[in-house]
């Protein structure tokens, strides 16, 4: 158990819908990262937050957004969902923005029908 929690574990929804994925980092970690794992794209970095502020962006679509709240939990919002958004979404956390060790949560499996 990494100490990073993600909810829900599974999510099934329809095209065009909007969903929110939630992540609670390890106690004391200030930085949160979101990754997408799909069969065709592999594991890809989406976005990073540190202490409430966006710090780095990767291959994140404009339909996707994220935020980190004062209690340090983070949410990833996916809108206008398409079939291709079906994937496993991981959250990871680290002590600070420069820390080289990230701890991964169990992931949220999103299925878009």
Binding residues (CB under 8 A) for another protein: these are 2, 4, 31, 33, 35, 42-45, 48, 55-56, 58, 90, 92, 94, 97-107
**Comparison of 59 and 80: residue with beta carbon closer to another protein:** 59
Any idea what the Cα angle at residue 58 is, between residues 53 and 62, rounded to 5°?
85
Q: Which is nearer to another protein, 79 or 95 (CB)?
A: 95
- Least distance from another protein to the Cβ atom of residue 74, Å: 15
Measure the CA angle with vertex 46, ends 44 and 50; round to 5°.
Answer: 130
Residue 14 vs 56, nearer CB to another protein: 56
Q: How far is the CB of 55 from another protein (least distance, A)?
A: 5
CB of 4 to another protein, least distance (A): 8
List, in sequence order, every beta strand (DSSP E) within the chain: 5-7, 10-13, 19-24, 31-38, 42-50, 53-57, 64-68, 74-78, 87-94, 103-104, 108-112
């Amino acid at each position: 158990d990494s100490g990073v929690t993600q909810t829900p574990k599974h999510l099934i929804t329809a095209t065009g819908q909007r969903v929110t994925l939630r992540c609670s980092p390890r106690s004391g970690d200030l930085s949160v990262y979101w990754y997408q794992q799909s069969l065709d794209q592999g594991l890809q970095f989406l976005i990073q937050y540190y202490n409430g502020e966006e710090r780095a962006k990767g291959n994140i679509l404009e339909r996707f957004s994220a935020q980190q709240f004062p209690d340090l939990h983070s949410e990833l919002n996916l809108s206008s969902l398409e079939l291709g958004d079906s994937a496993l979404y991981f959250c990871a956390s680290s002590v600070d923005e420069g820390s080289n060790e990230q701890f991964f949560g169990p992931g949220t499996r999103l299925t878009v029908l």
